[in-house]
Amino acid sequence: MSLTRRTLVRSTALLSLGLVAGCLGDGGSNGGADDTDDTPDLPGDTTTDPAGGTRPTGTGGPGIMLTNVDAAPDLPIEPTVEVSEDVATDDHPPQLRVTLTNTSDQVVEVGEGRAIFFQYVSDDSRELIFLPAGETYPADPGCWRLDEPIAVTEEYRVESFDPGESRSKLVDLYGAAKQEGEEESCLPVGEFRFETTMTVGSLSGGDDERTSTKWGFSLSLE
């Protein structure tokens, strides 16, 4: 996410006066004095979020930033992650792109095929969940908190990578559905850790032919 500066919070009276002066120019109040604020609004300016964080001006929710990414695991598959949509708006939730690359000269099988791309993976606190992009889920636009849990099948999927092949998938960030009695809210602010297990090898063979490791990253919403 691009760096932003925090704007100074003016009083309601001064803000209203600045808006009027901007419309009237020299014909405003105070005997024709120029009350126009010449400071331009920068695209990256932020406003205060009543929930305690900040949100980029003109958006409907918090911004997302990767704060820590694990080193590449000791596997022939190298994962990377990057921010694709850095803020929540009415049109889309925050979004990441997860890429896996086969760094070996042999075909590699990797599982579980959805979890390796962080599809349906929740953070450690189970406040957030990544879902495959491009689908419609039961959540209000701009809020992006699921109204109900998402059912996930128990099947174990396997992805096969040719030598040197890279494959990317987009995942959207949603707030997990609230349990009965919990306070209603949209995307929370704070720092969150996501982790998944990657298994490579001959997945149709015995366990002794497989190698598994955990890999993940942390992100902040503010």
**Domain segments of the chain as ranges:** 1-44, 64-221
Q: Is the pTM here over 0.95, yes or no?
A: no
In terms of residues, how long is the chain?
Answer: 222
Residue 204 has pLDDT above 70, yes or no: no
Instruction: Please tell me the CATH code under which domain 64-221 is placed.
Output: 2.60.40
3-state secondary structure of 22: helix
Band of the pLDDT at 73, cuts 50, 70, 90? very high
**Predicted local distance difference test score (pLDDT) of residue 33:** 41
The whole-angstrom separation of Cα 176 and Cα 24 is 48
Average pLDDT estimate for 89-97? 96
Q: Does the structure show a pLDDT above 60 at 90?
A: yes
Segment 81-105 shows an average pLDDT of 96
What's the pLDDT at 50?
Answer: 40
Give residues with Cβ within 8 angstroms of 128, minimum separation 6: 122, 173, 174, 175, 176, 187, 188, 192, 194
DSSP structure class, residue 60: S
CA distance 30 to 36: 12
Tell me: pLDDT of 145 over 50: yes
Are 125 and 192 within 8 A, CB to CB?
yes
57: pLDDT confidence band, cut at 50, 70 and 90? very low
Query: What mean pLDDT comes out for the span 103-128?
Result: 96
Task: Print burial letters for 147-183: b (CB count within 10 Å at least 16), e (below 16).
Answer: eeeeeeeeeeeebebeeeeebebbbbbbbbebeeeee
Range scoring the smallest mean pLDDT among 2-11, 60-69, 71-80, 125-134: 2-11
Looking at residue 39, its pLDDT comes to: 41
User: Bigger pLDDT: 209 or 11?
Assistant: 209
Q: What is the rounded average pLDDT for all residues in the chain?
A: 78
164-188 residue pLDDT tens: 999 999 999 999 998 776 777 899 9
